[in-house]
Amino acid sequence: MKIVSYNVNGIRSALNKGLLDWIKAESADIYCFQELKANLEDIDTAAFESMGYHGYWYPAQKKGYSGVGIISKVKPNDVQYGCGLEQADFEGRVLQLSFDHFHLINTYFPSGSSGDDRQGYKMGFLHDYLSYMHTKFEIPHSNLIVAGDYNICHKEIDIHDPKGNKNSSGFLPEERAWMDKLFEAGMVDSFRHVNKDPHQYTWWSYRANARNNNKGWRIDYINVSDSMKDKIRNAVIYPDAKHSDHCPVLLELDF
């Protein structure tokens, strides 16, 4: 089972940059998209269906903003749009699919980089989201996968300039402490489970030629519950896939 998570920074823009050809070549079983920036009627859903995927889309109510989607070769047993957190559901941030062997949550976590109000909302969302996970799932034992753009670098190894960004949203001590709590609760960073190398990033600023110089941040994850740790076969970052300011991440599981 191959699962990809990808912040496409606008699904229509990514499609215009060759996203479909990349999907055909990679042919993963499930793709989790974040930041659709499109209403359902603006997404070429038929293009994904023609490749054998079932599509599930949860756009934000605000036009051209946020939104998540999942395409899957395997039809899920259940689909849940949202998570019951009013603002998050208004912004189209959480989409959940249940399969025979696992429960998948695709999440576009808020960014706090635009100012104090959004940073405050981000921290409130993180608190409520973890509470939701604790309430709904027995995390270590639940065969849970949480994919998405977390908008947080966990460790210094995950960011090109940890000292220079120590006061930047996405690398603040309280955000990193929340990631600690997530993993202490029984989630596993699948990429770091198999890859301990530095300079592995999933997002780059458009400024100062950051991507070509690999001055990036690793803020996109496919984390799994501890019960699935032994099923991790591989975890990969694809920096050469350039349909967005992010790049895709892949998790391969062996059931």
34 token code pair: 């974040």
DSSP state of 142: S
pLDDT digits (tens, 9 = 90+) for 79-111: 999 999 999 999 999 999 999 999 999 999 999
167: CB partners within 8 A, 6+ apart? none
Domain 2-253 CATH (choose: 3.60.10.10, 3.40.1360.10, 2.60.40.10, 3.40.50.300): 3.60.10.10
- Please check the confidence at residue 140 and state whether its pLDDT lies above 90: no
Choosing from 100, 116, 117, 149, the catalytic residue is: 149
Question: Does pLDDT of 57 surpass 90?
Answer: yes
Rg (CA), the chain: 17
For the question of residue 149 being annotated catalytic, the response is yes
Domain ranges of the chain: 2-253
Total length of the chain: 255
For the record, the structure tokens of 55 come out as 């599509």
Which among 140, 253, 158, 167 has a CA at the least distance from the CA of 200? 158
Summarize pLDDT for 120-132 with one digit per residue, the tens.
999 999 999 999 9
Structure tokens given for 187: 């989630």
232 phi and psi angles, rounded to 5 deg: -70, 115
SS3 24: helix
Distance CA 100, CA 163 (A): 44
Is the whole-model pTM more than 0.85?
A: yes
Confidence at residue 53, expressed as pLDDT on a 0 to 100 scale? 98
Helix or strand (DSSP H, E) at 71: strand 68-72
174 vs 51, 112, 166, 186, CA distance in Å?
42, 12, 11, 19
